[in-house]
Amino acid sequence: MTARLLWNIFSVEVRKRMSYRADFWINSVVGVLVSLSVFWFLTYALFSASGQTMLAGYTERGMILYYVFVALMGRIVQSNEMEMGISQDIYEGSLTRYLIYPVSYKAVKYAEQAGSVAPQLIQLTLFGILAPLIIGIPPEVHITPASVAMGLTSLALANVLHYLLVIPIQAVAFWADNVWSLLVAERFAIAFLGGQLLPLGLFPEWARAGLEWLPFPYLFSFPARTLMGSVGPAEWAFGMVIALLWCGVAAGVGRWIWRRGDLEYSGVGI
Amino acid sequence: MRYLRLYLCFLRFSFSRAMAFRVDFFFRILMDVVWNIVNLAFFWILYQHTPVLGGWTFDQMMVFLGGVFVYDAIHMTVFSSNLWWFPIAINKGDLDYHLVRPVPPLFILSLREFAANSFVNLLVAAGILIWSLVRYPEPLRLFSVAVFLALLAVGVSLHYALNMIFLIPTFWMHSSSGLRDIFFSLEQYVTRPYGIFRGWLARMLTTILPFALVVSFPTRALFEGPSFSLLLHMLGVTAAAYIVMLTMWKSGLRAYVSASS
């Protein structure tokens, strides 16, 4: 019953996304092309000015390919709607209508969120196949069926991890009027610390050593590097364990904040 | 004078409203500070691997970034909230109320909401810009700095016109989300130095989609000296953008059918 309900919520969200197909494709194509062009020119400027042929373990083409995967996979890790506006539900009082649902509110929101990002898998598949064909596969990239399977598994975990990380921030809405700015700040921070703006290999050694123990690299950089075959089985297992541990920590903190917030909730809304 | 008095009223209401939502006020400041730190760290890391990027040294890039922060802060403070509500006013028919007022509707729609919380970020951004100019190792001519600041103001107004050009089609398309998202994507070109771009994209970014003119060209004027051709280019493209925007606005108003838009 619960699984079927969540599946229905998921599939309704997928259909909703696909009902605006022109918007979906125009935005996706333009968004990916603009980001890619900026990365492309930035990478070429960096390599030509530095005089190096390899930076952070990548050649020029390797780094561009990294950007392509990190941009495409990033759209699956986080949804455009800030995890379906949990904070908005709290603020407006619409959380109340979920109280009669036979499943947990957070599970419903996760099903919606997963449904909203699922169509992006089509783009990941399409552009993920096209990009290596257009850019070419440099020697440091080894995409194999195993690396794809491992990359997609870490991508699925990254999606769950991101969802759990934002719940405590969303729950601030129990006390604050508007947490939109906090969520945007979170997006800026994780894009940078997660390797979405720059490969983490370019960061200084001390920063890389610290980041390895934090959840951020496991959101973007880790799944993309895994897919590109840059992560061995031992490193992958270590990364997955760290990501799972952070899922546990984020879930625990989220639950604690939510319980406290629930006591404040009046259901009145604005 | 009348418009200035009206704008002062807008300011008063905006500050009162911002003070009513104090937590959000501080969250907005935090958001802008995080954005500034991320951008500074981004370029700092890149310059650990190269002495020059897009023809600019690290010190020059800091001045460029200072310009980016100031442009963004002015946009967020003065225009951003207004432009967010603009398509909603068209769709819901709220534009009706502005059309019957004794001031141009474009003035109210573009300037009514002053984001007081972003105003603090404007002070932070101005501070970073001043810091980057003061720490610049070579002497800068006062005239060049004045031209840089004036052109930055032109760049901000050009950015406003471009944003409007992407929003006015709501009169015909009835949905702004697609074009708005495309504009947000294109804004990335403002925050990266023009010198990194090559070929047809570089030409496009100074003509059809002149995002490179917003901050990169004023920064070029500062370091390379304000040439006549650069000034003419910036002013010409900005004037053209305003002509396009006002033409679209007028024809959009003719197509406006109140709430069903």
Cβ proximity of A47 and A60 under 8 Å: yes
**What was the pLDDT predicted at A81?**
63
**What was the pLDDT predicted at A16?**
83
Give me the residues paired with residue B56 across strands.
B53
- Interface check B217 vs A, CB under 8 A: no
Q: Which tens digits make up the pLDDT trace of A192-208? A: 999 999 999 999 999 99
> Which of the residue ranges A31-35, A214-218, B138-142 would you say has the lowest mean pLDDT?
A31-35
- Kindly report the nearest CA distance between residue A100 and chain B, in angstroms: 31
More confident residue, B23 or B156: B156
Cβ proximity of B89 and B95 under 8 Å: yes
Tell me whether residues B30 and A176 touch, CB distance under 8 A. no
Average pLDDT of the segment spanning B203-221: 95
CA-nearest of A101, A217, A239, A219 to A163 is A219
DSSP one-letter string for A229-265: T-S-HHHHHHHHHHHHHHHHHHHHHHHHHHHHHHHH-
Which of A24, A30, A39, A41 would you mutate first to test chain B, the one with the most B CBs within 10 A?
Answer: A41
Q: Which of B23, B31, B201 sits opposite A184 (nearest CB)?
A: B31
Which of A54, A88, A192, A208 would you mutate first to test chain B, the one with the most B CBs within 10 A?
Answer: A192
**What was the pLDDT predicted at B37?**
96
**How is residue B89 written in tokens?**
């006013």
Q: Which of B27, B38, B51 sits opposite A188 (nearest CB)?
A: B38
Tokens 């991101």, located at residue: A162
Cβ proximity of B112 and B85 under 8 Å: no
**What was the pLDDT predicted at A80?**
67
> Which of the residue ranges B17-21, B118-122, B232-236 would you say has the lowest mean pLDDT?
B17-21
Q: Is the pLDDT of residue B202 over 60?
A: yes
Which residues from A are below 8 Å from B48, CB to CB?
A: 202, 204
More confident residue, A29 or B132: B132
Cβ proximity of B221 and B144 under 8 Å: yes
Tokens 């917003």, located at residue: B214
ipTM associated with this complex: 0.89
Window 181-210 of B: residues touching A by CB (8 A cutoff) are 181-182, 185-186, 188-189, 192, 195-198, 201
Kindly tell me the sign of the dihedral angle through the C-alpha atoms of A109, A110, A111, A116.
positive
Q: Which of A37, A177, A202 sits opposite B201 (nearest CB)?
A: A37
- Interface check B21 vs A, CB under 8 A: yes
User: Which residue in chain A is spatially nearest to B179 when comparing CA positions?
Assistant: A27
CA-nearest of A57, A65, A59 to A36 is A65
More confident residue, A147 or B97: A147
* CB neighbour list of residue B201: distance below 8 Å, 6 or more residues apart: A37, A41
- Interface check B169 vs A, CB under 8 A: no
Give me the residues paired with residue B57 across strands.
B52
**What was the pLDDT predicted at B116?**
81
Question: For residues A148 and A142, what is the distance between their CA atoms, to the nearest angstrom?
Answer: 10
More confident residue, A74 or A2: A74
- Kindly report the nearest CA distance between residue B49 and chain A, in angstroms: 6
**What was the pLDDT predicted at B178?**
75
Tokens 């980016």, located at residue: B68
Q: Which of A34, A178, A191 sits opposite B24 (nearest CB)?
A: A178
**What was the pLDDT predicted at B189?**
95
**How is residue A254 written in tokens?**
């989220």
- Interface check B2 vs A, CB under 8 A: no
**How is residue A59 written in tokens?**
């050649």
Give me the residues paired with residue B53 across strands.
B56
Q: Which of B34, B35, B192 sits opposite A42 (nearest CB)?
A: B192
Beta carbon pairs, A and B, within 8 Å = 102
Average pLDDT of the segment spanning B45-69: 96
Which residues from B are below 8 Å from A87, CB to CB?
A: none
Cβ proximity of B220 and B194 under 8 Å: yes
DSSP category for residue A109: H
What is the SS3 string spanning B145-186?
HHHHHHHHHHHHHHHHHHHHHHHCCHHHHCCCHHHHHHHHHH
Tell me whether residues A181 and B49 touch, CB distance under 8 A. no
Q: What is the distance of C-alpha B204 from the center of its chain? A: 19
Tell me whether residues B42 and A197 touch, CB distance under 8 A. yes
Which residues from B are below 8 Å from A204, CB to CB?
A: 45, 48
Average pLDDT of the segment spanning A78-87: 71
- Kindly report the nearest CA distance between residue B81 and chain A, in angstroms: 13
Q: Which of B24, B42, B53 sits opposite A49 (nearest CB)?
A: B53
DSSP category for residue B101: S
Tokens 């006015």, located at residue: B168
CA-nearest of B163, B154, B162, B251 to B208 is B162
Which residues from B are below 8 Å from A182, CB to CB?
A: 27, 30-31
**What was the pLDDT predicted at B182?**
87
Q: Which of B42, B186, B198 sits opposite A192 (nearest CB)?
A: B42
More confident residue, B21 or B4: B4
List the domain boundaries for chain B: 2-260
Q: Is the pLDDT of residue A269 over 70?
A: no
User: Which residue in chain A is spatially nearest to B187 when comparing CA positions?
Assistant: A34
**What was the pLDDT predicted at A156?**
95
Question: For residues A188 and B39, what is the distance between their CA atoms, to the nearest angstrom?
Answer: 9
Tell me whether residues B23 and A31 touch, CB distance under 8 A. no
- Interface check B53 vs A, CB under 8 A: yes
Q: Mean pLDDT across chain A, nearest whole number?
A: 88
